[in-house]
Amino acid sequence: MSGRRIVVTSGKGGVGKTTTTANLGAALAKRGRRVALVDADIGLRNLDLVLGVEKRIVFDLVEVVEGRCQLKQALIRDKRFENLWILPAAQTRDKDAVTEAQFLRLTSDLAENHDFVLIDCPAGIEAGFRNAVAGAQEAIVVTTPEVSAIRDADRVIGKLRERKVPFRLLVNRIRPEMVRSGEMMSVEDVCEVLTSDLLGYVPDDEEIIDTTNRGEPIVLDPTKRLGVIYDRIARRLEGEKVEFSKLEEPGFLNRILAGWRG
Amino acid sequence: MEGLTHVQTVNQDAVVTTDAEQPKGRAIVITSGKGGVGKTTTTANVGAALAARGLSVALVDADVGLRNLDIVLGLESRVRYHLLDVLENKVSLEDALIRDKRSPNMSLLAASQTREKDDVDTEKMRLLVERLRAQFDWVLIDCPAGIEAGFRNAVVGAQSAIIVCTPEVSSVRDSDRVVGLLPRDLEPRLIVNRLRPHLVRRGKMLSVEDVNAILRLPLLGVVADEPEVVVATNRGEPISLDPKSQTGSAYRSIAARLCGEHIPIERPRVSFFARLGTLFGGR
Protein backbone atom coordinates (compact mmCIF):
# COMPACT_ATOMS: atom_id res chain seq x y z
CA MET A 1 0.00 0.00 0.00
CA SER A 2 1.14 3.51 -0.67
CA GLY A 3 -0.85 6.31 0.86
CA ARG A 4 -1.27 9.86 -0.33
CA ARG A 5 1.30 12.35 0.87
CA ILE A 6 -0.26 15.80 1.23
CA VAL A 7 1.38 18.99 2.51
CA VAL A 8 -0.75 21.63 4.24
CA THR A 9 0.89 24.97 3.47
CA SER A 10 0.10 28.70 3.25
CA GLY A 11 3.12 31.03 3.13
CA LYS A 12 1.69 33.28 5.79
CA GLY A 13 1.66 32.01 9.33
CA GLY A 14 -1.30 31.86 11.64
CA VAL A 15 -3.91 31.20 8.97
CA GLY A 16 -4.73 27.76 10.38
CA LYS A 17 -2.36 25.18 8.86
CA THR A 18 -1.93 23.23 12.09
CA THR A 19 -5.62 23.35 12.99
CA THR A 20 -6.47 22.20 9.47
CA THR A 21 -3.94 19.36 9.59
CA ALA A 22 -5.22 18.14 12.97
CA ASN A 23 -8.90 18.33 12.10
CA LEU A 24 -8.67 16.93 8.58
CA GLY A 25 -6.49 14.12 9.92
CA ALA A 26 -8.98 13.37 12.67
CA ALA A 27 -11.88 13.48 10.20
CA LEU A 28 -10.11 11.02 7.89
CA ALA A 29 -9.24 8.73 10.81
CA LYS A 30 -12.84 8.84 11.97
CA ARG A 31 -13.80 7.59 8.53
CA GLY A 32 -11.58 4.57 9.11
CA ARG A 33 -8.51 5.70 7.18
CA ARG A 34 -5.05 5.18 8.63
CA VAL A 35 -3.55 8.65 8.97
CA ALA A 36 -0.07 9.89 9.90
CA LEU A 37 0.38 13.56 10.74
CA VAL A 38 3.89 14.98 10.38
CA ASP A 39 4.88 18.21 12.09
CA ALA A 40 7.48 19.78 9.78
CA ASP A 41 7.84 22.93 11.88
CA ILE A 42 11.16 22.01 13.46
CA GLY A 43 11.98 24.41 16.30
CA LEU A 44 8.44 25.76 16.60
CA ARG A 45 6.29 22.65 16.79
CA ASN A 46 2.63 23.01 17.69
CA LEU A 47 0.74 20.08 16.19
CA ASP A 48 1.36 18.11 19.40
CA LEU A 49 -0.35 20.87 21.43
CA VAL A 50 -3.34 21.07 19.13
CA LEU A 51 -3.84 17.31 19.48
CA GLY A 52 -3.04 17.28 23.19
CA VAL A 53 -0.16 14.79 22.94
CA GLU A 54 2.65 17.12 24.06
CA LYS A 55 3.31 15.14 27.24
CA ARG A 56 3.65 11.85 25.37
CA ILE A 57 6.57 12.84 23.11
CA VAL A 58 9.61 10.61 23.54
CA PHE A 59 11.35 10.79 20.17
CA ASP A 60 10.97 13.27 17.33
CA LEU A 61 11.30 13.58 13.57
CA VAL A 62 14.96 14.62 13.61
CA GLU A 63 15.89 11.63 15.75
CA VAL A 64 14.17 9.33 13.27
CA VAL A 65 16.01 10.93 10.36
CA GLU A 66 19.34 10.69 12.18
CA GLY A 67 18.71 7.01 12.86
CA ARG A 68 18.68 7.41 16.61
CA CYS A 69 15.31 5.68 16.92
CA GLN A 70 12.91 3.76 14.73
CA LEU A 71 10.05 5.49 12.98
CA LYS A 72 7.44 3.51 14.87
CA GLN A 73 9.03 4.46 18.20
CA ALA A 74 8.58 8.14 17.45
CA LEU A 75 4.97 7.86 16.22
CA ILE A 76 2.42 8.76 18.89
CA ARG A 77 -0.94 7.07 18.57
CA ASP A 78 -3.91 9.29 19.32
CA LYS A 79 -6.04 8.08 22.22
CA ARG A 80 -9.35 9.12 20.71
CA PHE A 81 -8.86 8.02 17.10
CA GLU A 82 -7.08 4.69 16.94
CA ASN A 83 -6.16 5.19 13.27
CA LEU A 84 -4.39 8.49 13.88
CA TRP A 85 -0.64 8.82 14.49
CA ILE A 86 1.48 11.91 15.05
CA LEU A 87 5.17 12.35 14.30
CA PRO A 88 6.27 15.38 16.34
CA ALA A 89 8.92 17.86 15.21
CA ALA A 90 12.08 18.47 17.23
CA GLN A 91 11.76 21.57 19.39
CA THR A 92 15.40 22.35 20.05
CA ARG A 93 16.83 21.91 16.58
CA ASP A 94 16.96 23.96 13.36
CA LYS A 95 15.07 23.38 10.15
CA ASP A 96 18.43 22.74 8.46
CA ALA A 97 18.77 19.57 10.56
CA VAL A 98 16.87 17.66 7.84
CA THR A 99 17.42 17.61 4.07
CA GLU A 100 14.78 17.43 1.35
CA ALA A 101 15.86 13.90 0.43
CA GLN A 102 15.61 12.75 4.04
CA PHE A 103 12.16 14.26 4.30
CA LEU A 104 10.98 12.52 1.16
CA ARG A 105 12.33 9.21 2.44
CA LEU A 106 10.58 9.70 5.77
CA THR A 107 7.16 10.49 4.31
CA SER A 108 7.50 7.68 1.75
CA ASP A 109 8.16 5.25 4.61
CA LEU A 110 5.07 6.53 6.39
CA ALA A 111 2.99 6.19 3.22
CA GLU A 112 3.70 2.46 3.19
CA ASN A 113 1.61 1.95 6.31
CA HIS A 114 -0.87 4.79 6.10
CA ASP A 115 -3.63 5.83 3.70
CA PHE A 116 -2.84 9.48 4.29
CA VAL A 117 0.31 11.31 5.34
CA LEU A 118 -0.54 14.93 6.15
CA ILE A 119 2.45 17.23 6.49
CA ASP A 120 2.02 20.38 8.57
CA CYS A 121 4.29 22.91 6.84
CA PRO A 122 5.96 25.78 8.71
CA ALA A 123 5.20 29.39 7.79
CA GLY A 124 7.45 31.07 5.25
CA ILE A 125 9.17 29.78 2.15
CA GLU A 126 12.57 28.92 3.57
CA ALA A 127 14.23 25.55 4.23
CA GLY A 128 11.33 24.28 6.33
CA PHE A 129 8.90 24.88 3.47
CA ARG A 130 11.16 23.22 0.91
CA ASN A 131 11.51 20.14 3.10
CA ALA A 132 7.79 19.81 3.73
CA VAL A 133 6.95 20.17 0.03
CA ALA A 134 9.69 17.73 -0.99
CA GLY A 135 7.89 15.07 1.01
CA ALA A 136 4.52 15.58 -0.66
CA GLN A 137 2.79 14.60 -3.90
CA GLU A 138 -0.03 17.07 -3.52
CA ALA A 139 -0.86 20.15 -1.47
CA ILE A 140 -3.63 21.95 0.36
CA VAL A 141 -3.09 25.71 0.39
CA VAL A 142 -4.75 27.31 3.40
CA THR A 143 -5.54 31.00 3.18
CA THR A 144 -7.77 33.54 4.89
CA PRO A 145 -9.74 36.27 3.08
CA GLU A 146 -7.14 38.93 3.84
CA VAL A 147 -4.97 40.68 1.30
CA SER A 148 -1.72 39.73 3.02
CA ALA A 149 -2.62 36.04 3.34
CA ILE A 150 -3.71 35.92 -0.29
CA ARG A 151 -0.53 37.52 -1.52
CA ASP A 152 1.55 34.99 0.43
CA ALA A 153 -0.64 32.13 -0.84
CA ASP A 154 -0.05 33.37 -4.38
CA ARG A 155 3.69 33.21 -3.84
CA VAL A 156 3.42 29.67 -2.45
CA ILE A 157 1.19 28.58 -5.32
CA GLY A 158 3.86 29.83 -7.72
CA LYS A 159 6.40 27.62 -5.98
CA LEU A 160 4.06 24.62 -6.03
CA ARG A 161 3.45 25.09 -9.75
CA GLU A 162 7.20 25.28 -10.35
CA ARG A 163 7.55 21.94 -8.58
CA LYS A 164 4.50 20.53 -10.38
CA VAL A 165 2.70 19.76 -7.13
CA PRO A 166 -1.09 19.78 -7.66
CA PHE A 167 -3.05 21.69 -5.02
CA ARG A 168 -6.46 22.86 -3.91
CA LEU A 169 -7.48 25.80 -1.74
CA LEU A 170 -8.96 25.82 1.72
CA VAL A 171 -10.32 29.26 2.58
CA ASN A 172 -10.29 29.63 6.34
CA ARG A 173 -11.93 32.03 8.81
CA ILE A 174 -14.66 33.40 6.60
CA ARG A 175 -16.94 35.83 8.41
CA PRO A 176 -20.14 35.77 6.35
CA GLU A 177 -21.58 38.93 7.88
CA MET A 178 -18.44 40.84 6.89
CA VAL A 179 -18.52 39.37 3.38
CA ARG A 180 -22.11 40.50 3.09
CA SER A 181 -21.33 44.03 4.21
CA GLY A 182 -18.49 44.18 1.70
CA GLU A 183 -15.79 44.36 4.37
CA MET A 184 -14.32 40.96 3.58
CA MET A 185 -13.54 39.11 0.36
CA SER A 186 -15.83 36.24 -0.51
CA VAL A 187 -14.67 32.68 -1.14
CA GLU A 188 -15.35 33.19 -4.85
CA ASP A 189 -13.18 36.33 -4.89
CA VAL A 190 -10.32 34.48 -3.23
CA CYS A 191 -10.49 31.56 -5.69
CA GLU A 192 -10.62 33.96 -8.60
CA VAL A 193 -7.62 36.00 -7.46
CA LEU A 194 -5.60 32.84 -6.96
CA THR A 195 -7.07 31.04 -10.04
CA SER A 196 -7.32 27.89 -7.99
CA ASP A 197 -9.80 25.11 -7.30
CA LEU A 198 -11.58 25.04 -4.00
CA LEU A 199 -11.34 22.11 -1.60
CA GLY A 200 -13.47 23.76 1.04
CA TYR A 201 -14.03 26.73 3.26
CA VAL A 202 -14.36 27.08 6.99
CA PRO A 203 -16.17 29.90 8.78
CA ASP A 204 -14.52 31.83 11.60
CA ASP A 205 -15.87 30.20 14.75
CA GLU A 206 -14.85 31.07 18.30
CA GLU A 207 -15.41 27.46 19.28
CA ILE A 208 -12.16 26.45 17.57
CA ILE A 209 -10.02 28.67 19.80
CA ASP A 210 -11.12 26.80 22.90
CA THR A 211 -10.93 23.28 21.46
CA THR A 212 -7.47 24.02 20.07
CA ASN A 213 -6.26 25.33 23.43
CA ARG A 214 -7.57 22.17 25.07
CA GLY A 215 -5.90 19.93 22.49
CA GLU A 216 -9.13 18.43 21.18
CA PRO A 217 -9.94 18.29 17.48
CA ILE A 218 -13.39 19.81 16.97
CA VAL A 219 -14.19 16.82 14.74
CA LEU A 220 -14.52 14.83 17.98
CA ASP A 221 -17.84 16.47 18.76
CA PRO A 222 -20.52 15.52 16.21
CA THR A 223 -22.78 18.35 17.37
CA LYS A 224 -20.29 21.02 16.33
CA ARG A 225 -20.80 22.81 13.03
CA LEU A 226 -17.06 22.96 12.26
CA GLY A 227 -16.77 19.23 12.89
CA VAL A 228 -19.34 18.58 10.18
CA ILE A 229 -17.53 20.97 7.85
CA TYR A 230 -14.16 19.25 8.29
CA ASP A 231 -15.82 15.89 7.67
CA ARG A 232 -17.22 17.19 4.38
CA ILE A 233 -13.78 18.48 3.38
CA ALA A 234 -12.27 15.08 4.22
CA ARG A 235 -14.82 13.38 1.99
CA ARG A 236 -14.05 15.81 -0.82
CA LEU A 237 -10.37 15.05 -0.38
CA GLU A 238 -11.18 11.37 -0.87
CA GLY A 239 -12.82 12.18 -4.18
CA GLU A 240 -16.46 12.13 -3.10
CA LYS A 241 -18.69 14.70 -4.71
CA VAL A 242 -19.86 16.80 -1.79
CA GLU A 243 -21.74 19.99 -2.59
CA PHE A 244 -20.46 23.14 -0.93
CA SER A 245 -22.76 23.51 2.02
CA LYS A 246 -24.85 26.35 3.35
CA LEU A 247 -23.26 25.92 6.75
CA GLU A 248 -21.41 29.15 6.36
CA GLU A 249 -24.68 31.05 6.57
CA PRO A 250 -24.70 33.02 9.80
CA GLY A 251 -27.19 32.11 12.49
CA PHE A 252 -30.25 34.14 13.35
CA LEU A 253 -28.51 36.18 16.03
CA ASN A 254 -25.58 37.03 13.81
CA ARG A 255 -27.91 38.29 11.15
CA ILE A 256 -29.63 40.59 13.63
CA LEU A 257 -26.30 41.79 14.97
CA ALA A 258 -24.96 42.38 11.46
CA GLY A 259 -28.09 44.42 10.74
CA TRP A 260 -27.65 46.52 13.85
CA ARG A 261 -23.99 47.05 13.27
CA GLY A 262 -24.48 47.93 9.63
CA MET B 1 16.09 63.40 -2.07
CA GLU B 2 13.25 65.68 -1.06
CA GLY B 3 12.06 62.99 1.35
CA LEU B 4 15.40 62.87 3.06
CA THR B 5 15.56 66.64 3.54
CA HIS B 6 12.20 66.50 5.21
CA VAL B 7 13.23 63.69 7.47
CA GLN B 8 16.27 65.62 8.61
CA THR B 9 14.15 68.66 9.42
CA VAL B 10 11.93 66.51 11.59
CA ASN B 11 14.95 65.08 13.33
CA GLN B 12 16.11 68.50 14.40
CA ASP B 13 12.79 69.13 16.08
CA ALA B 14 12.83 65.86 17.92
CA VAL B 15 13.61 65.71 21.61
CA VAL B 16 16.57 63.37 21.24
CA THR B 17 19.85 65.24 21.20
CA THR B 18 23.05 63.28 20.70
CA ASP B 19 26.29 63.55 18.86
CA ALA B 20 25.47 63.84 15.16
CA GLU B 21 27.84 61.02 14.26
CA GLN B 22 26.32 58.59 16.72
CA PRO B 23 23.13 56.83 15.70
CA LYS B 24 20.51 58.48 17.88
CA GLY B 25 17.48 56.45 16.96
CA ARG B 26 16.27 53.27 18.57
CA ALA B 27 15.85 50.08 16.59
CA ILE B 28 13.18 47.62 17.73
CA VAL B 29 12.43 44.25 16.20
CA ILE B 30 8.80 43.09 16.30
CA THR B 31 8.81 39.31 16.49
CA SER B 32 6.72 36.33 17.63
CA GLY B 33 7.92 33.00 16.29
CA LYS B 34 4.43 32.04 15.23
CA GLY B 35 3.05 33.69 12.13
CA GLY B 36 -0.24 35.50 11.79
CA VAL B 37 -0.33 36.84 15.32
CA GLY B 38 -0.13 40.48 14.20
CA LYS B 39 3.53 41.45 13.83
CA THR B 40 2.98 43.47 10.65
CA THR B 41 -0.19 45.13 11.93
CA THR B 42 1.63 46.01 15.15
CA THR B 43 4.62 47.43 13.26
CA ALA B 44 2.42 49.61 11.06
CA ASN B 45 0.22 50.87 13.88
CA VAL B 46 2.91 51.53 16.45
CA GLY B 47 4.98 53.21 13.71
CA ALA B 48 2.09 55.47 12.70
CA ALA B 49 1.39 56.30 16.35
CA LEU B 50 5.03 57.24 16.94
CA ALA B 51 5.03 59.37 13.80
CA ALA B 52 1.84 61.09 14.96
CA ARG B 53 3.81 62.18 18.05
CA GLY B 54 6.14 64.09 15.75
CA LEU B 55 8.94 61.54 15.75
CA SER B 56 10.64 60.30 12.61
CA VAL B 57 10.10 56.61 11.97
CA ALA B 58 11.56 54.06 9.53
CA LEU B 59 9.71 50.77 9.07
CA VAL B 60 11.77 47.89 7.69
CA ASP B 61 10.02 44.86 6.22
CA ALA B 62 12.41 41.98 6.88
CA ASP B 63 10.07 39.35 5.40
CA VAL B 64 11.98 38.87 2.15
CA GLY B 65 9.86 36.84 -0.28
CA LEU B 66 6.60 37.29 1.63
CA ARG B 67 6.38 41.00 2.23
CA ASN B 68 3.16 42.51 3.53
CA LEU B 69 3.96 45.71 5.38
CA ASP B 70 3.52 47.68 2.15
CA ILE B 71 -0.04 46.36 1.80
CA VAL B 72 -0.97 47.13 5.39
CA LEU B 73 0.21 50.72 4.82
CA GLY B 74 -1.46 50.96 1.42
CA LEU B 75 1.88 51.65 -0.26
CA GLU B 76 2.11 48.57 -2.49
CA SER B 77 1.79 50.51 -5.72
CA ARG B 78 4.67 52.78 -4.75
CA VAL B 79 7.31 50.13 -4.11
CA ARG B 80 10.08 50.52 -6.70
CA TYR B 81 13.19 49.48 -4.84
CA HIS B 82 13.59 47.26 -1.85
CA LEU B 83 15.79 46.09 0.98
CA LEU B 84 18.05 43.84 -1.11
CA ASP B 85 18.59 46.58 -3.70
CA VAL B 86 20.00 48.70 -0.88
CA LEU B 87 22.02 45.92 0.73
CA GLU B 88 23.54 45.08 -2.65
CA ASN B 89 24.30 48.77 -3.36
CA LYS B 90 22.07 48.89 -6.44
CA VAL B 91 20.27 51.99 -5.20
CA SER B 92 20.80 54.44 -2.39
CA LEU B 93 18.92 54.06 0.86
CA GLU B 94 17.21 57.40 0.19
CA ASP B 95 15.87 56.17 -3.15
CA ALA B 96 14.47 53.00 -1.64
CA LEU B 97 12.67 54.63 1.28
CA ILE B 98 8.99 55.25 0.55
CA ARG B 99 7.39 58.08 2.41
CA ASP B 100 4.04 57.18 3.97
CA LYS B 101 0.88 58.74 2.55
CA ARG B 102 -0.56 59.90 5.83
CA SER B 103 2.47 60.27 8.07
CA PRO B 104 5.08 62.38 6.27
CA ASN B 105 7.73 61.63 8.90
CA MET B 106 7.33 57.87 8.49
CA SER B 107 9.09 55.93 5.72
CA LEU B 108 9.00 52.31 4.62
CA LEU B 109 11.81 50.15 3.36
CA ALA B 110 10.00 47.33 1.57
CA ALA B 111 11.20 43.74 1.37
CA SER B 112 11.98 42.10 -1.95
CA GLN B 113 9.16 39.86 -3.09
CA THR B 114 11.03 37.75 -5.60
CA ARG B 115 14.11 36.94 -3.58
CA GLU B 116 14.95 34.53 -0.78
CA LYS B 117 15.74 35.22 2.85
CA ASP B 118 19.12 33.51 2.46
CA ASP B 119 20.12 36.28 0.03
CA VAL B 120 20.40 38.77 2.89
CA ASP B 121 23.89 39.36 4.25
CA THR B 122 23.61 39.54 8.04
CA GLU B 123 26.47 41.98 8.56
CA LYS B 124 25.18 44.34 5.85
CA MET B 125 21.77 44.22 7.47
CA ARG B 126 23.28 45.28 10.79
CA LEU B 127 25.04 48.22 9.13
CA LEU B 128 21.86 49.24 7.34
CA VAL B 129 19.90 49.42 10.59
CA GLU B 130 22.70 51.51 12.07
CA ARG B 131 22.46 53.93 9.14
CA LEU B 132 18.72 54.18 9.59
CA ARG B 133 19.21 54.91 13.28
CA ALA B 134 21.37 57.88 12.33
CA GLN B 135 18.49 59.34 10.32
CA PHE B 136 15.38 58.35 12.26
CA ASP B 137 14.23 58.51 15.86
CA TRP B 138 12.73 55.03 15.61
CA VAL B 139 13.49 52.07 13.39
CA LEU B 140 10.85 49.33 13.59
CA ILE B 141 11.82 46.00 12.03
CA ASP B 142 8.98 43.68 11.02
CA CYS B 143 10.36 40.16 11.53
CA PRO B 144 9.18 37.19 9.45
CA ALA B 145 7.54 34.20 11.11
CA GLY B 146 9.78 31.34 12.16
CA ILE B 147 13.27 31.21 13.58
CA GLU B 148 15.26 30.64 10.41
CA ALA B 149 17.61 32.99 8.50
CA GLY B 150 14.91 35.67 8.20
CA PHE B 151 14.58 35.86 11.98
CA ARG B 152 18.32 36.13 12.53
CA ASN B 153 18.65 38.95 9.99
CA ALA B 154 15.71 40.87 11.45
CA VAL B 155 17.16 40.70 14.94
CA VAL B 156 20.79 41.54 14.15
CA GLY B 157 20.54 45.35 14.15
CA ALA B 158 17.94 45.72 16.89
CA GLN B 159 18.56 47.10 20.36
CA SER B 160 15.29 45.97 21.84
CA ALA B 161 12.44 43.63 21.00
CA ILE B 162 8.67 43.53 21.12
CA ILE B 163 7.11 40.08 21.38
CA VAL B 164 3.63 39.88 19.90
CA CYS B 165 1.64 36.99 21.35
CA THR B 166 -2.00 35.96 21.04
CA PRO B 167 -3.80 34.22 23.91
CA GLU B 168 -3.35 30.76 22.40
CA VAL B 169 -1.14 27.98 23.72
CA SER B 170 0.68 27.59 20.41
CA SER B 171 1.52 31.30 20.23
CA VAL B 172 2.67 31.33 23.86
CA ARG B 173 4.94 28.36 23.25
CA ASP B 174 6.48 29.92 20.14
CA SER B 175 6.95 33.25 21.93
CA ASP B 176 8.72 31.47 24.74
CA ARG B 177 11.05 29.82 22.24
CA VAL B 178 11.81 33.14 20.54
CA VAL B 179 12.54 34.87 23.85
CA GLY B 180 15.08 32.12 24.49
CA LEU B 181 16.73 32.75 21.12
CA LEU B 182 16.93 36.54 21.43
CA PRO B 183 20.16 38.08 22.67
CA ARG B 184 19.68 38.96 26.37
CA ASP B 185 20.36 42.66 25.94
CA LEU B 186 17.28 43.11 23.72
CA GLU B 187 15.09 43.10 26.83
CA PRO B 188 11.88 41.96 25.12
CA ARG B 189 8.55 43.47 26.09
CA LEU B 190 5.19 41.86 25.49
CA ILE B 191 2.10 42.88 23.53
CA VAL B 192 -0.84 40.52 24.04
CA ASN B 193 -2.77 40.77 20.79
CA ARG B 194 -6.27 39.71 19.71
CA LEU B 195 -7.71 39.36 23.15
CA ARG B 196 -11.42 38.56 23.19
CA PRO B 197 -12.51 39.67 26.67
CA HIS B 198 -15.88 37.90 26.52
CA LEU B 199 -14.15 34.58 25.83
CA VAL B 200 -11.71 35.17 28.68
CA ARG B 201 -14.63 35.87 30.98
CA ARG B 202 -16.23 32.57 30.01
CA GLY B 203 -12.96 30.74 30.60
CA LYS B 204 -12.68 29.92 26.89
CA MET B 205 -9.53 31.95 26.26
CA LEU B 206 -6.28 32.49 28.14
CA SER B 207 -6.17 35.78 30.02
CA VAL B 208 -3.30 38.28 29.88
CA GLU B 209 -2.22 36.94 33.28
CA ASP B 210 -2.28 33.33 32.00
CA VAL B 211 -0.07 34.30 29.07
CA ASN B 212 2.37 36.23 31.18
CA ALA B 213 2.52 33.60 33.93
CA ILE B 214 4.48 31.60 31.35
CA LEU B 215 6.37 34.33 29.50
CA ARG B 216 7.07 36.66 32.46
CA LEU B 217 7.87 39.72 30.34
CA PRO B 218 7.26 43.41 31.00
CA LEU B 219 3.84 44.14 29.48
CA LEU B 220 3.87 46.83 26.81
CA GLY B 221 0.21 46.68 25.86
CA VAL B 222 -2.97 44.69 25.29
CA VAL B 223 -4.90 44.90 22.01
CA ALA B 224 -8.39 43.51 21.51
CA ASP B 225 -9.50 41.37 18.59
CA GLU B 226 -11.83 43.71 16.71
CA PRO B 227 -13.15 43.32 13.16
CA GLU B 228 -12.31 47.00 12.59
CA VAL B 229 -8.61 46.04 12.58
CA VAL B 230 -9.15 43.62 9.69
CA VAL B 231 -11.14 46.24 7.79
CA ALA B 232 -8.50 48.93 8.37
CA THR B 233 -5.71 46.55 7.38
CA ASN B 234 -7.46 45.53 4.16
CA ARG B 235 -7.85 49.23 3.34
CA GLY B 236 -4.21 49.93 4.09
CA GLU B 237 -5.04 52.46 6.82
CA PRO B 238 -3.47 52.10 10.28
CA ILE B 239 -6.21 52.11 12.90
CA SER B 240 -3.93 53.91 15.33
CA LEU B 241 -4.67 57.09 13.37
CA ASP B 242 -8.41 56.79 14.08
CA PRO B 243 -9.03 58.92 17.20
CA LYS B 244 -12.39 57.25 17.86
CA SER B 245 -11.16 53.67 17.83
CA GLN B 246 -10.46 51.87 21.11
CA THR B 247 -7.98 49.60 19.36
CA GLY B 248 -6.29 52.68 17.90
CA SER B 249 -6.01 54.09 21.40
CA ALA B 250 -4.31 50.88 22.59
CA TYR B 251 -1.64 51.36 19.91
CA ARG B 252 -1.20 55.03 20.78
CA SER B 253 -0.63 54.07 24.42
CA ILE B 254 1.98 51.54 23.34
CA ALA B 255 3.79 54.27 21.41
CA ALA B 256 3.63 56.55 24.44
CA ARG B 257 5.07 53.80 26.66
CA LEU B 258 7.90 53.26 24.17
CA CYS B 259 8.67 56.97 24.56
CA GLY B 260 8.99 56.46 28.29
CA GLU B 261 5.58 57.69 29.45
CA HIS B 262 3.97 55.85 32.34
CA ILE B 263 0.46 54.99 31.29
CA PRO B 264 -1.44 52.20 33.02
CA ILE B 265 -2.23 49.25 30.74
CA GLU B 266 -5.85 49.62 29.67
CA ARG B 267 -7.78 46.38 29.31
CA PRO B 268 -10.19 45.85 26.44
CA ARG B 269 -13.73 45.75 27.78
CA VAL B 270 -16.45 43.29 26.85
CA SER B 271 -18.49 45.11 24.23
CA PHE B 272 -22.24 45.39 24.26
CA PHE B 273 -22.67 43.10 21.27
CA ALA B 274 -20.38 40.47 22.72
CA ARG B 275 -22.32 40.53 25.97
CA LEU B 276 -25.55 40.19 24.02
CA GLY B 277 -24.04 37.27 22.11
CA THR B 278 -23.08 35.58 25.39
CA LEU B 279 -26.60 36.06 26.66
CA PHE B 280 -28.26 34.58 23.59
CA GLY B 281 -25.59 31.98 23.09
CA GLY B 282 -26.44 30.75 26.58
CA ARG B 283 -22.94 29.56 27.33
Q: How far apart are CA B281 and CA B283, in angstroms?
A: 6
Contact A176, A202 (CB under 8 A): no
Give the CATH superfamily of B2-13+27-269: P-loop containing nucleotide triphosphate hydrolases (3.40.50.300)
Give the model's pLDDT for residue B231: 86
Interface contact A261-B273, CB threshold 8 A: yes
DSSP letter for A2, please: -
Domain boundaries, chain B: 2-13+27-269
Contact A62, A128 (CB under 8 A): no
Interface contact A95-B173, CB threshold 8 A: no
Question: Which residues of chain B does A122 touch, with a Cβ-Cβ cutoff of 8 Å?
Answer: 145-146
User: What's the pLDDT tens digit per position in B157-186?
Assistant: 999 999 999 999 999 999 999 999 999 999
Question: Which residues of chain A does B66 touch, with a Cβ-Cβ cutoff of 8 Å?
Answer: 11-12, 124-125, 151-152, 155
Contact A41, A128 (CB under 8 A): yes
Interface contact B145-A253, CB threshold 8 A: no
Interface contact A260-B273, CB threshold 8 A: yes
Question: Which residues of chain A does B214 touch, with a Cβ-Cβ cutoff of 8 Å?
Answer: none
Cα-Cα-Cα-Cα dihedral of A185, A188, A190, A195, to 10°?
Answer: -160
A43 touches chain B (CB under 8 A): yes
Alpha-carbon distances, residue B262 vs A51, A72, B55, B255, B259 (angstroms): 41, 55, 18, 11, 9
Sort A242 into a burial class: Cβ within 10 Å, 0-12 / 13-18 / 19+: middle
Give the model's pLDDT for residue A246: 63
Taking the CA of residue B157 and the nearest CA in chain A, the distance in Å comes to 21
Q: How far apart are CA B134 and CA B27, in angstroms?
A: 10
Q: Which of B42, B67, B117, B148 to mutate to test the interface with A (most CBs of A within 10 A)?
A: B148
A147 touches chain B (CB under 8 A): yes
Which of A49, A122, A212 comes nearest B146 by C-beta? A122
Q: How far apart are CA B225 and CA B241, in angstroms?
A: 17
B227 touches chain A (CB under 8 A): yes
Interface contact A15-B144, CB threshold 8 A: no
B65 dihedral zone (left: phi>0; alpha: psi -120 to 50; beta): left
DSSP E strands in chain A: the ranges are: 4-9, 35-39, 76-77, 84-87, 116-120, 138-143, 167-174, 198-203
Question: Which residues of chain A does B72 touch, with a Cβ-Cβ cutoff of 8 Å?
Answer: 148
> A75 Cβ partners below 8 Å, 6+ apart?
A36, A85, A86, A87
Q: How far apart are CA B253 and CA B222, in angstroms?
A: 10
A18 touches chain B (CB under 8 A): yes
Q: pTM score, two decimals?
A: 0.89
**Number of Cβ pairs closer than 8 Å across A and B?**
130
A15 touches chain B (CB under 8 A): yes
Q: Which of residues 36-55 of B touch A (CB under 8 A)?
A: 36-37, 40
- pLDDT bin (cut points 50, 70, 90) of residue B272 is low
How many helices (H) and strands (E) would you count in chain A? 12, 8
Taking the CA of residue A14 and the nearest CA in chain B, the distance in Å comes to 4
| pLDDT of residue B225 exceeding 90 | yes
Tell me the β-bridge partners of B189. Answer: B162
B150 touches chain A (CB under 8 A): yes
Q: How far apart are CA B279 and CA A6, in angstroms?
A: 42
A256 touches chain B (CB under 8 A): no
Interface contact A257-B273, CB threshold 8 A: yes
Give the model's pLDDT for residue B269: 78
Give the model's pLDDT for residue B276: 59
CATH assignment, A4-261: 3.40.50.300
- Check the CA dihedral A77-A41-A190-B44 and report its sign: positive
User: What's the pLDDT tens digit per position in B16-56?
Assistant: 444 455 788 999 999 999 999 999 999 999 999 999 999 99
Interface contact B233-A178, CB threshold 8 A: no
B173 touches chain A (CB under 8 A): yes
- pLDDT bin (cut points 50, 70, 90) of residue B273 is low
A253 touches chain B (CB under 8 A): yes
Tell me the β-bridge partners of A37. Answer: A86, A118
Give the model's pLDDT for residue A262: 39
Task: HSE, CB side, 13 Å, CA atoms: give it for residue B113.
Answer: 17
Alpha-carbon distances, residue B71 vs A75, A151, A188, B38, B225 (angstroms): 41, 9, 21, 14, 20
Estimate to the nearest angstrom the gap between the alpha carbon of A89 and the chain centroid: 15
Contact A122, A128 (CB under 8 A): yes
User: What's the pLDDT tens digit per position in A57-91?
Assistant: 999 999 999 999 999 999 999 999 999 999 999 99
User: What's the pLDDT tens digit per position in B117-128?
Assistant: 999 999 999 999
User: Which residue type, as a one-letter code, is found at position A35?
Assistant: V
What is the overall mean pLDDT for chain B?
Answer: 89
> B133 Cβ partners below 8 Å, 6+ apart?
B23, B24, B25, B26, B27, B139
Give the model's pLDDT for residue B21: 54
Residue (of A85, A84, A40, A32) closest to A61 by Cα position: A40
A14 touches chain B (CB under 8 A): yes
Which residue numbers in chain A have pLDDT < 70?
245-262
Radius of gyration for the alpha carbons in chain B, expressed in angstroms and rounded: 19
User: What's the pLDDT tens digit per position in B237-264?
Assistant: 999 999 999 999 999 999 999 999 999 9
Give the model's pLDDT for residue A221: 87
Interface contact A124-B230, CB threshold 8 A: no
Helix spans in B182-269 (H):
197-201, 208-215, 227-235, 246-258
Q: What is the mean pLDDT of residues B67-80?
A: 95
